[in-house]
């Protein structure tokens, strides 16, 4: 028997991504600080991750099913411990991942993840709701 997996690198619509979020119970939020060079840039990435975690809670997602990690240099900081990024990546398997990093402000959606770029100009709205992602 042949099995075909939907290509995980094909961009999808916001609506398709929201359906994935609504049907999933497992989430990983990655605050990727590797490209953030100063406190202001780092704060934008961290605040976006915090906002996303809060909005998932408002959607009724259980806090114990939301893992939050920070990537810095070669390290992954998760649950008060430091490990390698390579060891953190498998947390995304079977989960919806939100990868937040410093960049040109914008979001791209894929079947199992959102790639979110924020900048210091980021106005404090980084959330996902049943109606729309912002």
Furthest CA-CA distance within the chain: 53
Tell me which DSSP letter residue 93 carries. Answer: T
Tens digits of residue pLDDT in 93-117: 999 999 999 998 889 999 999 999 9
**What are 8's two structure tokens?**
């995980």
Query: According to the model, what pLDDT value does residue 132 have?
Result: 47
**What is the model's pLDDT at position 86?**
95
pLDDT score of 134:
45
> Exposed, middle or buried by CB within 10 Å (0-12, 13-18, 19+), for 125?
exposed
Residue of 58, 57, 56, 80 whose CA lies nearest to 69: 80
- Comparing 121 with 108, the larger pLDDT belongs to 108
- Give the pair of three-digit tokens for residue 79: 């649950």
Evaluate if residue 4 carries a pLDDT over 60: no
pTM: 0.86
pLDDT of 1 strictly over 60? no
d(CA 124, CA 55): 13
Q: How far apart are CA 76 and CA 103, in angstroms?
A: 20
Tokens of 5: 């997996």
Q: What is the pLDDT of residues 41-71, one digit of tens each?
A: 999 999 999 999 999 988 888 889 999 999 9
Average pLDDT over residues 83-91: 94
């Amino acid at each position: 028997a042949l099995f075909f997996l939907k290509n995980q690198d094909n961009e999808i619509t916001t609506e398709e991504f929201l359906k994935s979020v609504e049907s999933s119970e497992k989430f990983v939020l990655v605050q990727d600080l590797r490209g953030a060079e100063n406190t202001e840039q780092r704060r934008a990435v961290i605040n976006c991750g915090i906002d996303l975690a809060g909005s998932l809670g408002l959607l009724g997602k259980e806090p114990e099913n939301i893992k939050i990690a920070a990537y810095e240099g070669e390290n992954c900081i998760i649950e008060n411990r430091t490990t390698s990024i390579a060891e953190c990546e498998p947390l995304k398997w079977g989960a919806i991942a939100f990868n937040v990093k410093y960049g040109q402000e914008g979001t791209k959606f894929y079947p199992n993840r959102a790639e979110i770029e924020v900048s210091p100009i980021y106005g404090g709205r980084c959330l996902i709701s049943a109606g729309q992602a912002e």
